[in-house]
Amino acid sequence: MLGLTTIMNRRRTKQREAILAVLGNASDHPTADQTYEEVRKQLPRISKGTVYRGLRVLEEDGVVKELSLPGTVSRFDATVRPHYHFRCDRCGRVFDLDQPVIEELDARVAKRTGYKVTHHELEFRGLCRECQWRSL
């Protein structure tokens, strides 16, 4: 689960450049599929596989970031009361934190942006206790 730095010579290709250009120009944050559709306007013969691979590569190189969470599975929580989480980047487990929720953040963002803010989700990342041993 840890993003190990791959030792590999990356080649500069028009496909990956097109992907990066699309992401750079987009103000919202395109999904892989939206990126594919956009790139296709420049490179009609590009395939979905290439876009997915390209995004993955760009992310490994730190050029692009995947939002929210890696992987596609949802996780469920029986605790409904608002609280924050910690996700271990190695084992993937998610733990509850009893850190107090900072309510005033919502109002601050609302005032600055004009969005109606109902709540926020805060997730800390790193290594849990068990995985800290195993990691070195």
Binding residues vs a second copy (CB under 8 A): 20, 23-24, 26-33, 35, 55, 59, 62-70, 72-80, 84-86, 88-89, 93-95, 97, 99, 105-106, 108-110, 112-129, 132
DSSP 82: -
Tell me if 68 contacts DNA by CB under 7 A. no
**Tokens 């109902």 appear where?**
118
For residue 50, the partner it binds in DNA, a second copy, none, with Cβ less than 5 to 8 A by kind, is: DNA
**CA quadruple 14, 17, 21, 23: dihedral positive or negative?**
positive
Among residues 4, 5, 28, 45, which is the contact residue for DNA, using CB under 7 A?
Answer: 45
Which secondary structure element, helix H or strand E, spans residue 14, and what is its range?
helix 14-25
In the bound state with a second copy, the residue whose beta carbon lies nearer, of 43 and 86, is: 86
Tell me if 31 contacts DNA by CB under 7 A. yes
Q: Which residues, in sequence order, are CB contacts of 51 under 8 Å at separation 6+?
A: 15, 19, 32, 35, 36, 39
- How far is the C-alpha of 36 from the C-alpha of 133, rounded, in Å? 41
In the bound state with a second copy, the residue whose beta carbon lies nearer, of 20 and 43, is: 20
Binding mask 75-114 for DNA (x = CB under 7 A): ----------------------------------------
Q: Which residues, in sequence order, are CB contacts of 6 under 8 Å at separation 6+?
A: 60
Q: Which residues bind DNA (CB under 7 A)?
A: 8-16, 31-33, 43, 45-50, 52-54, 56-57, 72-74
